[in-house]
Amino acid sequence: MARAIDVAVVGATGLVGEVLLDLLAARRFPLGRLRLLASARSAGRRLRCGALEETVQELTPRALEGAGLVFISASDAISREYGRLAARWGGVTIDDSGVWRMDPEVPLVVPEVNAADVELHRGLLSIPNCSTTPVVMCLAPLHRRFGVRRVVAATYQSVSGTGRAAAEELRAGCRAELAGEPFEPRVYPHPIAFNLFPEIGSFQPDGYTSEEWKMVRETRKILHAEELAIATTCVRVPVAVGHSAAVHVELDRPVEPAEARRALADMPGLVVVDEPGRHAYPHPRLAAGQDPVFVGRVRKDLSHPNGLVFWVVLDNLRKGAALDALQIAEELLRRGKL
Ligand SMILES: NC(=O)c1ccc[n+]([C@@H]2O[C@H](COP(=O)([O-])OP(=O)(O)OC[C@H]3O[C@@H](n4cnc5c(N)ncnc54)[C@H](OP(=O)(O)O)[C@@H]3O)[C@@H](O)[C@H]2O)c1
Which amino acid residue places its CA nearest to atom 20 of ligand 1? 163
Catalytic residue among 130, 143, 234, 283: 130
Q: What is the DSSP string of 80-122?
A: HHHTTTGGGGT-EEEE-SSSSTT-TTS-B--HHHHGGGGGG-S
- Predicted confidence band at 239 (pLDDT cuts at 50, 70, 90)? very high
Ligand 1: which of 36, 75, 78 to mutate, most ligand atoms within 8 Å of CB?
75
In this prediction, residues 28-49 reach a mean pLDDT of 98
pLDDT above 70 covers a percentage of the chain that reads 100
Residue 39 is predicted with a pLDDT of 98
Active site residue 304: no
Residue 133 is predicted with a pLDDT of 98
Ligand 1: which of 45, 73, 135, 293 to mutate, most ligand atoms within 8 Å of CB?
73
Which amino acid residue places its CA nearest to atom 15 of ligand 1? 163
- Which residues on neighbouring strands pair with residue 156, listed in sequence order? 235, 244
Q: What SS3 state is found at 170?
A: helix
How far does the centroid of ligand 1 lie from the alpha carbon of residue 79, in Å?
A: 10
Which amino acid residue places its CA nearest to atom 29 of ligand 1? 39
- Predicted confidence band at 205 (pLDDT cuts at 50, 70, 90)? very high
Q: Give CA separation, 233 vs 26, 213, 298, in Å.
A: 35, 10, 20
Ligand 1: which of 81, 94, 96, 101 to mutate, most ligand atoms within 8 Å of CB?
96
Tell me the H-state helices in the chain. 15-26, 61-64, 76-82, 111-114, 132-146, 164-179, 210-223, 257-265, 284-287, 323-334
Which residues in 83-113 are b (16+ Cβ under 10 Å) and which e? bbbbeeeebbbbbbbbbbbeeeebbbbbbbb
- Amino acid at position 249, single letter: V
Nearest to 60 by CA among 80, 78, 33, 84: 78
Residue 3 is predicted with a pLDDT of 83
Domains assigned to the chain: 5-127+321-334 (3.40.50.720), 132-158+196-316 (3.30.360.10)
Backbone phi, psi, residue 311, to 5° = -125, 125
Q: What is the pLDDT of residues 48-101, one digit of tens each?
A: 999 999 999 999 999 999 999 999 999 999 999 999 999 999 999 999 999 999
Q: CA-to-CA distance for 293 and 312, rounded, in angstroms? A: 7
Q: pTM of the entire structure?
A: 0.98
Ligand 1 atom nearest to CA at 167: 19
Active site residue 224: no
pLDDT higher than threshold 80 for residue 1: no
Q: CA-to-CA distance for 247 and 302, rounded, in angstroms? A: 13
Catalytic residue among 121, 143, 243, 283: 243
Cβ pair 126, 94 in contact under 8 A? yes
Residue 198 is predicted with a pLDDT of 98
Cβ atoms within 10 Å, residue 235:
18
pLDDT above 90 covers a percentage of the chain that reads 99
- Amino acid at position 221, single letter: K
Number of helices and strands in the chain (H, E): 10, 13
> What average pLDDT does the chain have?
98
How far does the centroid of ligand 1 lie from the alpha carbon of residue 123, in Å?
A: 21
Residue 6 is predicted with a pLDDT of 98
How far does the centroid of ligand 1 lie from the alpha carbon of residue 258, in Å?
A: 40
Ligand 1 atom nearest to CA at 77: 31
How far does the centroid of ligand 1 lie from the alpha carbon of residue 57, in Å?
A: 15
Cβ pair 207, 199 in contact under 8 A? no
Estimate to the nearest angstrom the gap between the alpha carbon of 239 and the chain centroid.
16
pLDDT higher than threshold 90 for residue 220: yes
Q: What is the pLDDT of residues 282-312, one digit of tens each?
A: 999 999 999 999 999 999 999 999 999 999 9
Cβ atoms within 10 Å, residue 228:
16
Q: Give the binding-site residues of ligand 1, using a 6 Å CB cut-off.
A: 11-17, 38-39, 41-42, 59, 73-75, 78, 96-97, 130, 160-161, 163-165, 316-317, 320-321
- Which residues on neighbouring strands pair with residue 34, listed in sequence order? 7
